[in-house]
Amino acid sequence: MRKTTRLRLAGALAAALVAAGIATGPAAQASQKQPTLAELAQRHGRYFGSATDNPELTDTAYTALLGSEFDMITPGNGMKWYATEPQQGVFDWTNGDQIVDLARKNHQRVRAHTLVWHSQLPSWLTSREWTADELRAVLKKHIQTEVRHYRGKVYSWDVVNEAFNEDGSYRETIWYKTLGPGYIADALRWAHQADPHARLYLNDYNIEAVGPKSDAYYQLAKDLKAQHVPLNGIGLQAHLALQYGYPTTLEDNLRRFSALGLDTALTEVDVRMILPADDAKLATQAEWYRSLTEACLAVRRCVGITVWDYTDKYSWIPAVFPGEGAALPWDEQLRPKPAYFAIRAALGGK
C-alpha cells in the first residue's frame, strides 16, 4: 500500500473514531470521552432511549452501542401479546425477560410495550367470538399477569396502543367492538392495581401535531383525569416521513397534555425518506431530529425520547414501506449520521 493511501486511511479511521465518540491521539486521551446521548439528556432531566428486538442481541457491535449510548430501552416485540401469552393462560416471558435483564445489566430503565393492541395478537384470541364478559376476563388476566411479572422492573407501560383512527373516532378493534370505549379506563385501572409504581401511558402514531387524532387523545385524557383513572402519560410515537412534512405544532401539542398534568414522551421516533438517501435528505432529516428534540426539551413534562431502534440495520421501515428507509440516526454500518450530531447539538453536546 502506498504511504499516502495509508495516511488517508489512518485519517479516515481517526475521523470515524472521533465521530463515534472514541478518543484518538494524545490530546484526546488526556480529555474526557464524549458524553453519550443518555448523559446529555440527563443534564436536562430527560432520558434518551432506543427500542430493540431479541434477534438483534447476538450482534455484539450493535449491543455495545445499545448498552452505552442509551438509558431507556423498549422491547420492540418481546412483550406483545402473541409473545407473552401464545396460548390462553400459558405465559412466556423469555423475550421480555432477556431485554429487561440486558437493560438492568447496562443500568438502563425499560419502557414496557404494549398490553392492549389490535395487532400482533395470538390466534387463540382472534379466531373465535367472545362475549363481553369473557373478553373482559381474558383482558384483565393478561394485563394483570404481565404487569405483575414485570412489577418493579419497568419504568412505564404502554397500556393501550393505537386506539383511535385518523379522524379521531375509536378504532373498531376487538376491544372496542366487544367492550366499548370503557376498555381503556379498565385497562389502566387493572394495570395500576398490578404495579402501582409503573407510569401508565396511552400511545399512538400521527398524534404529534394538533389535529383530529391528537384532539381525541386530549379529550379522552381530560375525561380519564376527571374520573381519576390512573393515566400518567401520552406517548407520541413520531414515525415521521420527510415526504409528509414536519409536525410544526408538536411543541404546542406536548404543552397542552402537560397542562392536563400528564407526562409526554416521544416513544418510537424515526424519520423515513424515499430512497436513495442523499446529503440533502439526510440534512433535512437531521433538522427534524434537532427540532423534535428541542420541542421535548422545551416542555417540562416531556420526559424523554426513544428512537424505534437506533440503526438503519434493524429498522422496521423497509419491510413495511418498500422503497423507503434510512430513518434512524445511525446507518446500516452503525456509523452516526447527521441526525445523530443534530440530536447531540440539540441536547447541548458538541
Q: Which is nearer to ligand 9MR, 50 or 108 (CB)?
A: 50
Least spacing, CB of residue 162 vs ligand 9MR, in Å: 7
Q: Which is nearer to ligand 9MR, 80 or 301 (CB)?
A: 80
In SS3 terms, the chain reads as: CCHHHHHHHHHHHHHHHHHCCCCCHHHHHHCCCCCCHHHHHHCCCCEEEEEECHHHHHCHHHHHHHHHHCCEEEECCCCCHHHHCCECCECCCHHHHHHHHHHHHCCCEEEEEEEECCCCCCHHHHCCCCCHHHHHHHHHHHHHHHHHHCCCCCCEEEEEECCECCCCCECCCHHHHHHCCCHHHHHHHHHHHHCCCCEEEEEECCCCCCCHHHHHHHHHHHHHHHCCCCCCEEEECCEEEHHHCCCCCHHHHHHHHHHCCCEEEEEEEEEEEECCCCHHHHHHHHHHHHHHHHHHHHCCCEEEEEECCCEHHHCCHHHHCCCEECCCCECCCCCECHHHHHHHHHCCCC
Least spacing, CB of residue 150 vs ligand 9MR, in Å: 17
CA 266/CA 331 separation, integer angstroms: 21
Least spacing, CB of residue 113 vs ligand 9MR, in Å: 6
Interface positions with ligand 9MR (CB under 6 A): 53, 76-77, 119-120, 161, 205, 237, 268, 316
CA 287/CA 273 separation, integer angstroms: 13
Q: What are 305's strand-pairing partners?
A: 48, 266
CB 244 within 8 A of CB 211: no
Q: Which is nearer to ligand 9MR, 120 or 243 (CB)?
A: 120
Least spacing, CB of residue 206 vs ligand 9MR, in Å: 11
Q: Which is nearer to ligand 9MR, 143 or 346 (CB)?
A: 143
Least spacing, CB of residue 343 vs ligand 9MR, in Å: 20
Q: Which is nearer to ligand 9MR, 154 or 347 (CB)?
A: 154
CA 246/CA 253 separation, integer angstroms: 13
Catalytic residues: 162, 268
Q: Which is nearer to ligand 9MR, 30 or 319 (CB)?
A: 319
Q: Which is nearer to ligand 9MR, 36 or 95 (CB)?
A: 95
Least spacing, CB of residue 307 vs ligand 9MR, in Å: 12
- Residue in 204, 240, 326 with CA at minimum distance from that of residue 277: 326
